[in-house]
Structure 1
């Protein structure tokens, strides 16, 4: 006699284990995710660096011709003849020095000194600031591009030609990179 049941017949075991291929696929997926994460992370980091360089380039002084810039050199210190010495150095850089005076404005000058200029002289003053490191800014109401270089009590000297060239070259390179859209 035979008996029939509603259960399907049990299949014999095939001998294959599904776990090793699944582990291999999992490891492969994790490795692919890691590589993709690294690629995207590097691209985002490069983009952030390029944006920072472009922001710095926007703030960098433009490269102007010193022969087109008119300056007045004012001495706000007790050191006699300092303004004349600095004016001579600025002329050797190519600047046009209109006047050399003692500062009689009554404005207190602290630190290295300051650059005084009107709204039209903002770009020129940012260029002159490369030559007078540490000088502060004072925007007044003048209508010309003439910049006053006011020497303060802690004035130690102008930047050297090498220092000026280094600042202007790095600014030019940054502007070139940002202008071309490559980083």
Structure 2
């Protein structure tokens, strides 16, 4: 009797093709590259946003002490006594009111009003503009830091101190982040 303990003859082994695993690895590498590109791109966007916030904070109106701002209040509207009313409100808020009168210039004022200032009063004008949203700005050739608040025909009233503080609050936090 013959028992065969020998295994059946092995078939000749064919070499496997390396193409499918290589294609899979290539696709996987491209996906990883795409994810990495997105991460770097998002970091660039965040840096750009932070830079823009710092530039906005630098261009924002300064937070001044109202007692350092000298204002002349002029009325260019048809409402009699409006300049005195606004001057009283500004005085209550700490501003120094220098003069109250009708608008002495021939400039036409549209909208809620106009804030006129010289080069030395530009910070004070930007601060005062927080109290009269929508007011136009006009820089003239005056040499001092006084600012003129000209009441226009669509004057809605001064912004509340809370609104002004709320406007300055994000600016202060953006400056701290820079």
Q: What is the SS of the residue equivalent to 1:131?
A: coil
Q: Give 2:156's aligned residue.
A: 156
Runs of 4+ in 1 over 3 A off after TM superposition: 12-15
Structure-to-structure mapping, 1:10-25, within 5 angstroms: 13-25=13-25
**Structure 1 residue 69 displacement after superposition:** 0.9
Q: Give 1:181's aligned residue.
A: none
State the number of aligned residues.
167
Q: Give 2:77's aligned residue.
A: 77
Cα deviation digits, residues 112-154 of structure 1 (max 9, x gap)? 1111111110111111111111111111221111101000111
Q: RMSD of the TM alignment (CA)?
A: 1.5
Q: Give 1:42's aligned residue.
A: 42
Cα deviation digits, residues 39-91 of structure 1 (max 9, x gap)? 11111111221122122112210111111111111111110111111111112
Unaligned runs of 5+ in 1: 1-11, 179-183
Distance in 1 (CA, whole Å) between partners of 2:39 and 2:101 is 60
Cα deviation digits, residues 5-47 of structure 1 (max 9, x gap)? xxxxxxx644433133213312320221122111111111112
Unaligned runs of 5+ in 2: 1-11
Q: Give 1:125's aligned residue.
A: 125
TM-score under structure 1 length normalisation: 0.85
Distance in 1 (CA, whole Å) between partners of 2:22 and 2:105 is 83
Distance in 2 (CA, whole Å) between partners of 1:22 and 1:139 is 69
Structure-to-structure mapping, 1:89-168, within 5 angstroms: 89-168=89-168
TM-score under structure 2 length normalisation: 0.87
Distance in 2 (CA, whole Å) between partners of 1:132 and 1:93 is 13
**Structure 1 residue 111 displacement after superposition:** 1.3
Q: Give 2:65's aligned residue.
A: 65
Q: Does 1:55 align with 2:55?
A: yes
Q: What is the SS of the residue equivalent to 2:130?
A: helix
